[in-house]
Amino acid sequence: MPAPAATLYVVATPIGNLADLSPRAQEVLRSVAAICAEDTRHTGQLLSHFGIGKPLVALHDHNEEAMAERVVARLLGGESLALVSDAGTPLVSDPGFRLVRAARAAGVRVSPVPGACAAIAGLSVAGLPSDRFVFEGFLPAKAAARRERLQRLAGETGTLVFYESSHRIAESLADMAVAFGSERPAAVARELTKMFETVLDGSLEQLLAAVQADDNQRKGEFVVMVQGAGDDGEAKIAEGRRLYAKLHEHLPPSTAAKLAAELSGAPRKALYGG
C-alpha cells in the first residue's frame, strides 16, 4: 500500500508579539509528527506558551544539507512535518531553502502557513512606495563589502529593504547616506510588534542623526527601508558613477568617464568634472 501523502508545512511564527501566531499555524503545529526548528530551545518556549508538545528536530545553517536528506526521508515515509525559524517567515534571511528544495525535488508537497515577516511589516508602515521593492536582507558585515554593495544599489528604482542589527545600525545608515545621498527618503522600523516599537521616517541624514542622538534608538532589531532612485536620470547617474569608479582603476579619468557615460546613459559631466 502506498504511504499516505505527507506535507512539509512552512510555518511563520511571531516577530515579537506572540498573539501573531495564527490559529491555523497553531493547528498545523499540533497536527504534524515533528517540527524542524532553527533553535529548538527558542521554539520549545514558543510551543510551550501555546501548550503544544512536539518532537523538535534541529535544522540550522550548519546542518541543513545533511538534515534535509533525513527530513525528506521521513516525509517520503508518510509523516507530515513543519518547518519554523526563530522568528517570522522561514527562508527569509533564515534557514530552510535547502530543505524546501530537497522536498520539492523529491515530489513532496510543500505548503505555506503565512504570517509575520519583518520586511513586510516594516514596509507596511514606512510610508514609502511599496508597489515595487527589493529585499536585500543583511548587508555584508565588513565595511568595504557593505559600501560596495550599497554603491551597486544606488541606481535601483524600487524601494530597498534591509535587515540590520543593533551593532551596525548607525554605520549602515552612514554608509547609505554616502551611497544614496543624504537627502534620500527612508524609514527605520525598530522592534516591530514589541513593547518599544518605533518607526522613524525622514531623510537618511535625519535618520542617522536620530539614531546617533538616542542610545535607545540603536537597541533591538531593525528593518531599514530606503526609497529607490527617484527618476530615470538619478538612476543613470548612480550607475554611471559606479562604472566610473571601477573603470578609473584601470583607465585615465577622461576615458573612464566617456565609457561610463556611454554605458550608463548618464551625462559625462555628472560623472567627472574634467
Contacts of 20 (CB under 8 A, 6+ apart): 14, 115, 116, 193
Q: What character string, x for contact with ligand SAM (CB under 6 A) and - otherwise, covers 107-146?
A: ----------xxx---------------------------
Cα dist. 65→75, 88, 97, 229 in Å? 16, 22, 10, 38
Of positions 60, 194, 246, 248, contacts ligand SAM by CB under 6 A: 194
Residues between 21 and 60 with contacts to ligand SAM, criterion CB under 6 A: none
Reference 90, options 77, 100, 105; nearest CA is: 100
Residue 89: exposure state from Cβ atoms within 10 A (0-12, 13-18, ≥19)? buried
Does residue 87 bind ligand SAM (CB under 6 A)? Answer: yes
Span near ligand SAM by CB under 6 A; candidates 41-49, 87-95, 106-114, 210-218: 87-95
> Is 225 or 235 the residue whose CB approaches ligand SAM more closely?
225
Q: Residues 7, 43, 80, 89: which binds ligand SAM (CB under 6 A)?
A: 89
- Cell 515515509 appears where? 77
Among the listed ranges 41-49, 59-67, 148-156, 191-199, the one in contact with ligand SAM (CB under 6 A) is 191-199
Residue 25's contacts (CB-CB under 8 Å, 6 or more residues apart) are: 11, 12, 13, 113, 115
Query: Which amino acid is residue 268, in one-letter code?
Result: R
Nearest CA among 124, 48, 53, 45 for reference residue 87: 45
Contact between 100 and ligand SAM by CB under 6 A: the answer reads no
The x, y and z cell numbers of residue 210, run together, are 536620530
Helix (H, G, I), strand (E, B) or coil at 155: coil
Taking CB atoms, the residue at the shortest distance from ligand SAM is 88
Measured CA to CA, the distance from residue 238 to residue 101 in angstroms comes to 36
Would you count residue 189 as binding ligand SAM (CB under 6 A)?
Answer: yes
Output the smallest distance, CB 155 to ligand SAM, in A: 24
First to last CA, the chain: 79
Footprint of ligand SAM on residues 195-224 (CB under 6 A)?
221-223
Where in 220-249 is the site for ligand SAM (CB under 6 A)? 221-223
CB nearer ligand SAM, residue 223 or residue 247: 223
Q: Which is nearer to ligand SAM, 120 or 251 (CB)?
A: 120
User: Applying CB under 6 A, which residues contact ligand SAM?
Assistant: 15-16, 85, 87-89, 92-94, 117-119, 163-165, 189-194, 221-223
